[in-house]
Structure 1
Amino acid sequence: MRISDADQVICAIYTLKDEAALWWESAVTGLDLARMTWRDFKMALFEKYIKEDVRGQLIRDFMSLRQGDRTAVEYVSQFEHGCHFVPMIAGDEKERLWHFTDGLRSEIKHDVSIADVMTYKETVNRAYRSEKGRKEMQADF
């Protein structure tokens, strides 16, 4: 659904249950929900329910993430999951693109680099095509 940040927050609030609903009732005091972004809401939730040492480990894991033996689909999934914990990268297209590309396996990174893609979405698509093409070439031999 394409809804505003404020509406996303309101929808999410209605799904909170038990302890989370009680926590939100006290956390919301003094907040302007009409101006709260989805990112702000997620960060408040992460700060409450994911302890600082765990958040730190998730950030370290993300910063050292490499494709390795993973498929491109698996790498994209892990990268996008990790972005939630590092908003300075997730919120900046250039940083996101750089970190994603940097973690690609060397042969796929090469293919992406020579394609001169400019967006994260184009880079992901190029990585998928590169991996598929390389698998097809191996099958021919």
Structure 2
Amino acid sequence: MHQLVEQFLKLKHPKFDGKGDPEAVSLWIEELEKAFEVLGCTKEEKVTLAVYKLQGNVSDWWKATRGRVLLAGTAQTWVMFVEVFNGKYFSESAREQKLAKFMRLRQGHMTVDQYGAEFARLSKFAPRMVEDPLDRARRF
């Protein structure tokens, strides 16, 4: 584990303090998942490393929440962590707002490249609408 922590720290992944746009939560998780893939982390190691990057009130929240979420003697898993974490820091209403923003997205005065970038950024909040390549092309 010591070697894994050293490798993880070398990647210089940012800490998470819970401040800012709720979309920052999604980006933070995505960046963690990229690091975990490179490092070949187990489900339990992912949680340990992610928790290490929690700062301030977010760290306090996890300490208080962990015992309620995890039954005694069960392993903490990444899927469980992300679900609870998103429930706190990327609420259902925030996700719905991002979905609505995706639904309202129009090219307008953007270049095709700008529109494509915004489409890609917001489409992750509407995965069912873009999972089929044909649906994705129609929506674009």
TM-score normalised by structure 2 residue count: 0.49
Which structure has the larger Rg over C-alpha atoms?
Answer: 1
* Higher RCO, 1 vs 2 (CA within 8 Å, ≥6 residues apart): 2
TM-score normalised by structure 1 residue count: 0.48
